[in-house]
Amino acid sequence: MSEILLETKHLHRSFGGVHAVKDVSMKVRTGTIKAVIGPNGAGKTTLFNLIAGTITPQRGEVLFRDKLITARRPHAIAAMGIARTFQTTKLFPHMTVHENVMVGRHPRTRSGFLAGMLSLPRTWREDRQTQSKAMEILTDLGLACHAGEIASNLSFGRQRLVEFARALATEPALLLLDEPAAGLNIYETQELSRLILRIRDRGVTCLIVEHDMSLVMDISDEVLVLDQGQKIAEGPPAQIQRNPDVIRIYLGDDHA
């Protein structure tokens, strides 16, 4: 059995008396795809934000590679090897596709502000490496022909791919994908599923929040189900599909 890459222990976060995440414990194993599902307002994105450091839990812990990351800032967590995408694309709209992906290399660069100001040889080498690595990722995702285009001029589906490329540029061990299929058509969703599997096969563990159940059941090794901030089920996709509590949440008591 693969080792545990990420673990949450009794995470709790409320907003104005509403329990967005309540006592959620889970494990994500290296080399797997784990999906987090649940109805709107179940706490899925809040759980992602707690892992990524965007918000801090009121109780509980997040461990990555057995190291406590609960109190770390988002940029520090990214440097440790956790990258994420968002429900809506958050690209730099007036920058080129290539430049957007180069931004993702920032956690992997070492030249500081002073070195950049002085144009030291180390800075030149690092800049060339950043450009080369970004182009390599764009080529791998079939986006090299769009490298010089302004990001906001691309179709929504391609903008989503650029966000993937930028996240991969950080060289993550764990990739958090927040509703990656949102706004995509059937063809784009199929392409997305193949891309996520390819990413996993190349050694990047994936944790996904997604509403598209066909995508979830096709590619996930394990599924976590949240409802009103609480974990109600966890296990392989086939087991989750038969779980009466999950059926009740999605289809109602009569179907359960």
Residue 114 confidence (pLDDT): 40
Residue 118 confidence (pLDDT): 45
* pLDDT band at residue 130 under the 50/70/90 scheme: confident
CB-based contact 41:70 (threshold 8 Å): no
Residue 122 confidence (pLDDT): 64
pLDDT tens column, 35-90: 999 998 899 999 999 999 999 999 999 999 999 999 899 989 998 999 999 877 88
Residue 250 confidence (pLDDT): 78
Residue 90 confidence (pLDDT): 83
The partner residues of 11 in beta bridges, in order of sequence, read: 24
Residue 121 confidence (pLDDT): 59
Superfamily, domain 1-81+174-256: P-loop containing nucleotide triphosphate hydrolases (3.40.50.300)
Rounded Cα distance, 148 and 135, in Å: 11
Residue 11 confidence (pLDDT): 97
* pLDDT band at residue 106 under the 50/70/90 scheme: confident
Across the beta sheet with 174-178, what order do the strands follow? 82-84, 174-178, 205-209, 33-37, 222-227, 230-235
Residue 129 confidence (pLDDT): 87
Rounded Cα distance, 141 and 148, in Å: 15
203-218 average pLDDT score? 95
Residue 1 confidence (pLDDT): 61
DSSP 80-133: HTEEE--SS----TTSBHHHHHHHTTGGG----HHHHHHT-HHHHHHHHHHHHH
CB-based contact 175:203 (threshold 8 Å): no
User: Domains of the chain: which residue ranges?
Assistant: 1-81+174-256, 95-171
Percent of the chain past pLDDT 70, that is, above it, reads: 90
Rounded Cα distance, 22 and 16, in Å: 14
pLDDT tens column, 142-198: 999 999 999 999 998 899 999 999 999 999 999 999 999 988 899 999 999 999 999
CB-based contact 199:168 (threshold 8 Å): yes
Residue 16 confidence (pLDDT): 87
Q: Among 126-135, 145-154, 194-203, which is the least confidently predicted range?
A: 126-135
pLDDT tens column, 228-252: 999 999 999 999 999 999 998 876 6
